[in-house]
Chain A
């Protein structure tokens, strides 16, 4: 069965609002989780590495103040898209535990 879950699976929000996406490891502890973004017809792009108990590591070009990551426990990482805009509409996917085989089901964000 699935070992990584995400919530919500889809969300629609208005421009300027913030949205929180959760990524949970279901039957293991994950000191590291990864957040990816995928635009239509494009591949996955790593946004940041979430580290339990410390600051996330962001990839070049990803605004850390806009995409807030919190990894407060060994089973939960959250990604908050602050002041969302239509260009943030995308498919957000997390993975865990080195996690090559353990992707979450993804969250479809639509900003209107």
Chain B
């Protein structure tokens, strides 16, 4: 089966650092994505990892370990506007499907003053 797990909710303080974890078990793997989604809006792309290691983009970084089926999104210098849901998604090529994205349950992050 396919399974992507994230914590349901997290709380952090403005200016701090927060790490959102994602573990996955999928029949195929061709990349892992992180998205930010504000209430009532579509997801916006944050990062993409296909090889092991850390990808950094400004205040956001994402890490991938394929052998462990694990990724995390690191948000630095948190701002109030970072309060949103963060979705982990795996591109799964299992079963002949092309570019299917399987989404995790999402993590609702609340940034407090």
User: Known contacts being A43-B87, A43-B106, A44-B87, is A100 close to B42, with CB within 8 Å?
Assistant: no
A:27-81 near B, CB below 8 Å: 32, 34, 36, 42-46, 49, 57
Name the CB-closest residue of B to A10. B40
Known: A32-B99, A34-B101, A49-B100. A106 touches B106 (CB 8 A): no
With A34-B101, A43-B87, A46-B101 in contact, do A104 and B106 touch (Cβ < 8 Å)? no
* Interface contact A100-B103, CB-CB below 8 Å: no
A43-B105, A43-B106, A44-B87 given; A99·B42 CB < 8 A: no
| Total B residues in contact with A, Cβ cutoff 8 Å | 22
Please state if B101 and A43 are interface contacts (CB–CB under 8 Å): no
**A91–B17 CA distance with the chains assembled, in angstroms:** 31
Q: Which secondary structure dominates chain A's binding surface?
A: strand
B98 within 8 A of A: yes
Q: What is the CA–CA distance of A70 and B97 in the complex, to the nearest angstrom?
A: 19
B interface residues (Cβ-Cβ under 8 A, vs A): 31, 33, 40-45, 48, 87, 89, 91, 97-106
Q: Number of A residues whose C-beta is below 8 Å from B? A: 22
Q: Is the CB of A49 within 8 A of B45?
A: no
Q: Which residues of A contact B48 (CB under 8 A)?
A: 100-101
Contact B106 A100 (CB under 8 A): no
Please give, as numbers and ranges, the residues of chain A lying within 8 Å of B102 by CB-CB distance: 46
Residues of the B chain whose Cβ atoms lie less than 8 Å from the Cβ of A42: 105-106
Q: Which residues of A contact B33 (CB under 8 A)?
A: 100
Report chain A residues within 8 Å CB of B91.
Answer: 100
Asked if residues B104 and A43 are in contact (CB atoms below 8 Å), the reply is yes
